[in-house]
Structure 1
Amino acid sequence: MKNQIGFKIKNTRRKAGISQADLSEKLGISSSYLNLIESGKRNVNVDLLLKVSDVLNIELKDLSKKEDANLYHDALDLLGDNIFEDLDITNIEVKDLANNNPLIAKALIRLGDFYKKGNKEIYSKVESISEDNITKFKSSFPGEAVSDFLQKYNNYFQELEDYSLKVFKSVNSKNKTRHVLLIDYLKNKHKVDVEDIVPSEKDNFAKKYDDNKKKLYLSDYLTLETKKLYAASQIVQLEAMDIIEKQLNDFVFQNEESKNLTIIALVNYTAAAILMPYELFFNECKKHRYDLELIQHTFATSFEQVAHRVTCLQNPKMKGIPFHMLRADIAGNISKRLSLSGIQIPRYGGACPRWNIHSAFITPGKIHAALSKMTDGEKYVCIARTVEKGIGRYGVHRSMVSIGLGCEAKYAKDFVYSDQLNLKEDQAAIPIGVNCRTCTRLDCQQRAFPPINKKFKIDLNKRGISVYVNE
């Protein structure tokens, strides 16, 4: 614990531009003693912690809170790769790294991202030459920057919420639909016309804005819910890009691609807030205990839009349930991930096959609810439902993805999908992990790889319930 506190003091001091000598003088201790605290060699008593909290303007709970769970999980996920198998790295050693050397852990994860990106580029070049379909290396690495960014700020941005509320109030009317109101707003305030058209095969698009003609073209293949989001997004792009740019100032992006993708995510965040303003949406969620389909119809939005929006309810004065959310395709590729619930979502590779985000594909369009138990004993109420994406017209195949949403079991009474689950009996919980390499369960018949925490040995005379487990 003292290593964690010392690191946080040093990190906060450096960010504030305060020298070690200046801080020690304000705290009434010697520079050498402060150096020992920051290096984790001395404990900090309560009185000194209070002084540090006051001088550095940091909450006491932030100084003493546990390790960064997401950092630990991402490092564990990375070091669970087969290339590290001979090193026998344990979970405890990874946790020590995240606790005592978080910057080193972040550096390793960054190296891991670059390594995977390099592999992706190599296989993309091979594919372009051989025309082989090497899909398993085509994960969207810039998307990880978006996840990291949203995770850092708990997917909540007060200034964007304030702006969205102003737009909502200005377009609110009982006499017109929201889509028409947004179109009128663009026309009246920005002289922008919105036109629904069927794209040609040579110029296929979902939306397209022509600044010279002041026209926003929306594909007629889109659902009305998506058209509304795009119309709101155009308002944001015309009015609030300076606010969005401000949100990016304290985050380091590795490339322009990642930054631009994050800008798009914030534009969509703001557009969704216009369609579902915070306080009104929060009250509906509390009233209906997060019944997503009911709330979806209340705001005339899509299931995925509502699932995204419930993860944004992190205003300290009006706080909703901290959810995790992920989106995966039928092959298990995770295209979106955010964890405010504390559950680990894999950064590299697919998720545990026991997660209901996979079984949701068996009965499309139906919400699957489950009580899941992680290897650390923590229980989560998780729901999943498939949604169709892409062009909506006869003869064109639409892709299908599964949306997963969940929270800690302690919030079950406030989450309507818990009502049909047996929360009292421990055996009713489905044992899940993160992925096979980091999962410690040895009784899983669906194990696809040996666990990182146990040396894998082949015994020709004995086979357990999995080829990778002989016990």
Structure 2
Amino acid sequence: MSANAKLYAGVKLREIRTRLKLTQADYAAKLGISLSYLSQMENNHRPVSAGVVLALAQELGADVTELAAGSTERMVADIREALADPVFGTAPPLGDIQLLASNAPNLARSFLTLHRELRETQERLAQVNEALGREDAALAPLPWEEVRDFFHYCDNYIDAVDRAAEHFAARLGDGERRSALARWLETRHGITVATAADAPLRRFDPEARHLALAAHSAGATQTFQILHQIALIEHDDLLEATLDLARFRTEAARAICKTGLANYFAGAALLPYAQFLGRAQELRHDLEALAGAFDASIEQVGQRLSTLQRTGAKGVPFFFVRVDQAGTITKRHSATRLQFARFGGGCPLWNVHQAFETPGRFLRQLAETPDGARYLCLARDVSKPGGGFRAPVRRYAIGLGCEIAHAGALVYADDLDLKNAAAYQPIGVSCRICERRDCHQRAVPPLERPVTVDPNSRDVLPYRIG
């Protein structure tokens, strides 16, 4: 948020008051303001003043970072992208969308759910058309987006699971973790762990009490898979309780999310919150150094950095994304104002798409989005061999970044000219909601701008954006 931006956070103010079990009158008294002033702020008729923010921290011990946690901006980005669907025609002004996200977040979430239902219905109709010609065709549910949104709106931080994983890591102690984890399973559960050339990444036989791991997997991957299995065995009640709270519509979504929660536990146990946060700050977020310090992969480190959103002990707010060679986003999360395209491809000017061209190297990029926010972006390719000559190699690129205000905490910013406006590459989220008129990589026109076509003139684009 820019220094001159006004902070409208009425919903968060009410949430803090409700959590503290205070009446409006008591709340106003503790904040040192009138009841009418509090009412105006809670209804977003007035911005939250600096004095109120200070009183929240000093008098009530509230985590004031909640006020600007970015959930409203995240929702605005999601609504704008949903409204870019041609079914809606002309989108409402940005100010109206911001009011909806700030004043009626539940209504905004309902709209996003309705739009997702519309897209799923359209895809199911397409499947019906295909199924008419095939007796074995079935209508497949679309649970991935529901699970993705669950993590998205939790800030990709699940407190109960994170703390359970941190507690488990502390009980495990120091030493070579893969061997220690194998002993843990054998001692406490009678489960043997071994690698096998023909095994998938992880295969557990509950009858034989045997866990097989792929012999060709990297050590960090094997450790992660053992931790995943421990999450399912020792913390199943916690995972199921979290799933109950999520209230997924389908069993498929619930099953997918359970895998995601077990993965979350594994990552949090591999990189325990407080220990990892302290080391990251000490090493200035050097991904390679952190990977070596925790015997983890660079991808595991990058993704973990994006989850450090614990109340009262937040890390640098990062975004994290993983894309394949076709540009499809396979993992994404943002604790920053930068939001990724929910539908369709991302911006081709972003350096994550160039990482495939420079294997084994970190790419750095200073980038600016249409809203004027500036970021330090890192990108690197990630290859996952299949373990044999004819085995397929999975190739991805990962992207990690933060707003320039936090760049000083990263070793990657040391020799960059952060104050030079010309050093920043203009990027967007997706073409349909990007307002830039002169982008040479634009694929489709922006939804909210008129387009004119001159048959006697042609530039890089075959039309002009009004």
Q: With the length of structure 2 as denominator, give the TM-score of the two structures.
A: 0.83
Moved more, 396-405 or 119-128: 119-128
1:153-232 map, 5 Å: 153-174=154-175, 177-199=176-198, 205-232=200-227
What is the deviation of 1:105? 2.1
Relative to structure 1, the CA distance from residue 106 to residue 58 in structure 2 (aligned partners, 3 Å threshold; closer, same or farther) is: farther
What is the deviation of 1:453? 2.1
1:17-96 map, 5 Å: 40=43, 68-85=72-89, 87-96=90-99
Please point out which of 391, 409, 413 is paired with 2:404: 409
Counterparts of 1:58 and 1:468 in 2: how far apart (Å)?
51
Q: Aligned residues, how many?
A: 451
1:128-159, Cα deviation, whole Å (9 max, x unpaired):
7889xxxxxx9x95333333333333333443
1:300-352, Cα deviation, whole Å (9 max, x unpaired):
21111111111222234433211011111111111211110221211111111
Counterparts of 2:168 and 2:118 in 1: how far apart (Å)?
43
Aligned amino acid, residue 168 of structure 2 = V
Is 1:253 matched with 2:254? Answer: no
Task: Give the match's secondary structure for 2:432.
Answer: coil
Corresponding residue number in structure 1 for 2:137: none
What is the deviation of 1:277? 1.9
Task: Give the match's secondary structure for 1:68.
Answer: helix
Is 1:461 matched with 2:460? Answer: no
Corresponding residue number in structure 2 for 1:115: 118
- Say if 1:198 and 1:220, in contact at 8 Å, map to a contact too: yes
Aligned amino acid, residue 262 of structure 1 = C
Relative to structure 1, the CA distance from residue 12 to residue 246 in structure 2 (aligned partners, 3 Å threshold; closer, same or farther) is: farther
Moved more, 71-80 or 98-107: 98-107
Corresponding residue number in structure 2 for 1:418: 413
Q: What runs of 5+ residues in structure 1 fail to find an aligned partner?
A: 132-137
Task: Give the match's secondary structure for 1:266.
Answer: helix
1:312-461 map, 5 Å: 312-389=307-384, 391-461=386-456
Moved more, 335-344 or 153-162: 153-162
Relative to structure 1, the CA distance from residue 431 to residue 197 in structure 2 (aligned partners, 3 Å threshold; closer, same or farther) is: same
- Say if 1:437 and 1:451, in contact at 8 Å, map to a contact too: yes
Moved more, 376-385 or 148-157: 148-157
Moved more, 70-79 or 345-354: 345-354
Q: With the length of structure 1 as denominator, give the TM-score of the two structures.
A: 0.82
- Say if 2:286 and 2:412, in contact at 8 Å, map to a contact too: yes
Aligned amino acid, residue 164 of structure 2 = Y
Corresponding residue number in structure 2 for 1:135: none
Relative to structure 1, the CA distance from residue 59 to residue 287 in structure 2 (aligned partners, 3 Å threshold; closer, same or farther) is: closer
Aligned amino acid, residue 162 of structure 1 = R
- Say if 1:143 and 1:336, in contact at 8 Å, map to a contact too: no
- Say if 1:3 and 1:100, in contact at 8 Å, map to a contact too: no
Task: Give the match's secondary structure for 2:431.
Answer: coil
Counterparts of 1:195 and 1:92 in 2: how far apart (Å)?
58
1:271-307, Cα deviation, whole Å (9 max, x unpaired):
1222222222222211211111121122221111111
Corresponding residue number in structure 2 for 1:105: 108
Corresponding residue number in structure 1 for 2:147: 146
Corresponding residue number in structure 2 for 1:302: 297
Corresponding residue number in structure 1 for 2:31: none
What is the deviation of 1:51? 12
Counterparts of 1:359 and 1:294 in 2: how far apart (Å)?
23
Relative to structure 1, the CA distance from residue 468 to residue 255 in structure 2 (aligned partners, 3 Å threshold; closer, same or farther) is: farther
Q: What runs of 5+ residues in structure 2 fail to find an aligned partner?
A: 29-35, 135-139
Aligned amino acid, residue 165 of structure 1 = E
